[in-house]
Structure 1
Amino acid sequence: MDVLTELLSSDFRDLDRRALDFFASLTSKIEPADLARPTPCPDWTLHGLLRHQVSQDIGFAAAARGEGGSLAVWRSGSLGDDPHAAVVASGRLVTEAFADDGVLTRDFALPEVRDGGGFPGALAITFHVVDVVVHAWDVAATLGLPWEPDEELVTASLKVAAVVPDDPESRAPGAAFAPSVPSDGRDPRDRLLALLGRDPSWRPA
């Protein structure tokens, strides 16, 4: 079975909940002064990155309900006065939406991906997992914290990364992921980051 076929027949919802919990465990350590820090994503401060992830959660939740076609939905996140609480709330929102009966076979509109969809729910949920896991590294690297997703999350995310197109159109500025970068391939976590355009050696300036 090839990787794409495997993902199309998968159920990543438990992995998604674990990824969201992992992400929230890191955002719980953020202090107000940290929000202005630069991140490995050159266009975003930590505040911008968190707002992006909250927006993605809202967008994926809407897509799971059949309401994700408008790009504005994917730009609607707000951190309010408590970024960690906003992260927890958006994570809960997407988890509840993914729990709906039939979500794995429902078409998800993803306006930020290629022509927008629809993508089978089972595959779309894998996209959300890898997005959360890699953005958790962005947060950890920004704060100088360890990034230690469990082995199953890393293995699953590597499968998703293997089917993410790595062409100039798909990895253009402003896209979800930058072009892949070289990796020695020894550490699966470093390999995952490199496949999705992160430099595992990045450190805050």
Structure 2
Amino acid sequence: MNEIADRYRRRADAFDAKAAAVRPDQWADPSPCARWTARDVVRHIVDMHETMLLPLGRTLSTAPSVDADPAAAFRAARADVEAVLADPALAGRECDTPSGKMTALRHIDQVVSQELPLHGWDLAKATGQDDTIDPADVEDAWSIMRTLPEGLMEQFRTPGAFGPDVEVFGPEIKVDQEAPLQDRLLAFIGRDPQWRP
């Protein structure tokens, strides 16, 4: 449990730092996610935090909206998830998720914790920050992605498969097999590693 909480905290710290570094005039800038601005990237992450809480009968605490203050909205959502991770009874509760029954702890680890580094890259790219993902997170995500069943990957790449307007991954982008692992990971999930605004 501590390992999962520590991993989430480290990834949330990195995302938080990127959100805090965005200038006010950059929130409307385009991101590598088609149709999303930098603000939309944070909105998605905040929404995913609420998705982790809903199976527990919880919602996000009252906080500034993503429209008013994206960085503050993320910090508040993060605090709500960390409260679950700090409570063994809540973290260990079995939940119904799109991937089947699992503990809230495992759900957080497999979903929102995994998304933070990848969407941190989106936010960094959109706002001209250092887009280096922690190598440990790249290795972790790569090992997971490469072992997903082909049918599940196809579902992830199908727009709307997990709900209206939900697109998990885009079509794979071809990159050199000798490219850095971060580039290969991003290309695998449908991001152009060389994307520029």
| Matched AA of 1:39 | S
**Structure 2 unaligned regions, length at least 5:** 160-165
Instruction: Supply the distance in 2 between the matched residues of 1:33 and 1:18 (Cα, whole angstroms).
Output: 27
Determine helix, strand or coil for the equivalent of 1:184.
Answer: coil
1:57 aligned residue: 49
**How far does residue 109 in structure 1 lie from its aligned partner after superposition?**
3.2
1:98 aligns with 2:85: yes
1:203 aligns with 2:193: no
What's the CA shift string for 1:24-78, capped at 9, x where partnerless? 1101111222111111111211222211111111221333xx237xxxx69x993
| Matched AA of 2:57 | E
**How far does residue 18 in structure 1 lie from its aligned partner after superposition?**
0.8
| Matched AA of 2:68 | D
TM-score norm. by structure 2 comes to 0.79
Determine helix, strand or coil for the equivalent of 1:148.
Answer: coil
Q: Is the 8 A contact 1:129 1:157 kept in 2?
A: no
Alignment of 1:13-162 (within 5 A): 13-63=5-55, 66-67=56-57, 78-101=65-88, 105-110=92-97, 113=98, 117-121=100-104, 123-124=106-107, 125-162=109-146
Instruction: Supply the distance in 1 between the matched residues of 2:139 and 2:77 (Cα, whole angstroms).
Output: 25
What's the CA shift string for 1:110-155, capped at 9, x where partnerless? 3xx4xx6334445421222221110001001101211223222222
Instruction: Supply the distance in 2 between the matched residues of 1:44 and 1:135 (Cα, whole angstroms).
Output: 11
Instruction: Supply the distance in 2 between the matched residues of 1:93 and 1:83 (Cα, whole angstroms).
Output: 16
Q: 1:121 to 1:184 in 2, by over 3 A?
A: farther
Q: 1:120 to 1:188 in 2, by over 3 A?
A: farther
**Structure 1 unaligned regions, length at least 5:** 1-8
Instruction: Supply the distance in 2 between the matched residues of 1:188 and 1:27 (Cα, whole angstroms).
Output: 24
What's the CA shift string for 1:86-107, capped at 9, x where partnerless? 1111112112212321566543
Instruction: Supply the distance in 2 between the matched residues of 1:12 and 1:160 (Cα, whole angstroms).
Output: 16
Instruction: Supply the distance in 2 between the matched residues of 1:43 and 1:159 (Cα, whole angstroms).
Output: 28
1:188 aligned residue: 181
Match of 1:172 among 155, 158, 163: 158
